[in-house]
Amino acid sequence: MQEIIIHEVGLRDGLQIEPEPIPTITKIQWADEMIASNIDIIQLGSFVNPKKVFQMAGTDDLFDYYNIPENKPNKTILSGLVLNEKGLERGMACGVEMFCMGVSASETHSRKNTGMTPAEAQITIIKMAKEAISAGKKVQASVQSAFGCGFDGDIDEEKVYSIIKEYLNAGINTVSLADTAGYANPLKVERMFGKIHELDSNLVTACHFHNTFGMGIANVFAAYKTGVKIYETAFGGLGGCPFTKVAAGNVATEDVVTMFQEMGFRKDIDLKRLKGVPKYASGFLIKDLPGFTYKLNSIKH
């Protein structure tokens, strides 16, 4: 049976464009419920300049909280996003278990997101990845805007593959294709992941889809068919990159888990408990969230 790992990024990608600050205690309450529901990986936040993304100001505090022995999850891995050396230093200092980092294949998005060109960012990211791996940390490197960009339009697929090849040459064996602008479609997903899997049979792949054009869940299934192992999702379908042209939500964690459970997989995840997080978040944020299944008791009649 194909291994399926759910990487919940709602506390980072899901909240980073919300207009009002979310208290750290509230983020902890949501994280605790996701941990209790048996989610595999939870991204607590990103180590970025809080002046640029104020919602991430408490990321260090979240990791400090979960590094207290009585609060540390038994199974769930806690990940953090880093964009530069300073972020990596902060993550190391507060005990991040898994570092996520990446290079945008889009010139415009890369400059807006990191202040660097893709070539400059790639040098920095590979150096950081090697440091983290040497320190015994798990590392996942992504190609952002891998399927297209709201600013630059279509992205040359060969550019994406060349970035992946550099990751492999650097000893990084877990890589992600991130559909930052939501431009992916199922056939393109199958083609690109198929090509990447041909590069190295030991490569572990991850996917990250946004719902700009409503194709997120279809793209998840297409990725599954190619053998993708890790699925990045956000509770309630929240999210969107503040540095892309149109910030649309992620595929909803509970929707993806529902699909996989209906296919006979990941029955070990407590879906009822998991759906409580977007229900709570919807009330806290005083709005309906884009996800579907959290509003339903069951998809069965």
pLDDT digits (tens, 9 = 90+) for 236-283: 999 865 544 455 689 999 999 999 999 999 999 999 999 999 999 999
Q: What is the CATH number for 235?
A: 3.20.20.70
How many separate domains does the chain show?
1
Q: Is residue 54 part of a domain?
A: yes
Report residue 27's pLDDT band, with 50, 70 and 90 as the boundaries: very high
Whole-number Cα distances in Å, 104 to 109, 144, 245, 252, 259? 7, 4, 14, 23, 29
pLDDT at 88 over 90: yes
- CA-based angle 216:274:41, to the nearest 5? 70
Whole-number Cα distances in Å, 162 to 118, 196, 291? 12, 10, 34
Report residue 219's pLDDT band, with 50, 70 and 90 as the boundaries: very high
State the average pLDDT over residues 222-237.
Answer: 97
Q: Is residue 301 part of a domain?
A: no
Instruction: Give the C-alpha separation, 12 to 218, whole Å.
Output: 23
Q: Return the closest-CA partner of residue 16 out of 86, 83, 77, 66.
A: 83
* pTM listed for this prediction: 0.94
Q: Is residue 30 part of a domain?
A: yes
Q: Is residue 300 part of a domain?
A: no
pLDDT digit string (tens) for 140-189? 999 999 998 877 788 899 999 999 999 999 999 999 999 988 899 999 99
Q: Is residue 81 part of a domain?
A: yes
- CA-based angle 110:231:94, to the nearest 5? 70
Q: Is residue 289 part of a domain?
A: yes
Instruction: Give the C-alpha separation, 256 to 248, whole Å.
Output: 17
State which amino acid sits at residue 239. G
Chain length of the chain: 301
- Cα four-point dihedral sign 288, 24, 179, 35: negative
pLDDT digit string (tens) for 184-214? 999 999 999 999 999 998 999 999 999 989 9
Instruction: Give the C-alpha separation, 79 to 221, whole Å.
Output: 24
* Domain around 131: 5-295
Whole-number Cα distances in Å, 301 to 207, 271, 296, 297, 298? 31, 17, 11, 10, 8
pLDDT of residue 241: 59
Q: Which residues, in sequence order, are bridge partners of residue 267?
A: none
Residue burial 126-140, b: 16+ Cβ < 10 Å; e: rest: bebbebbbeeebebb
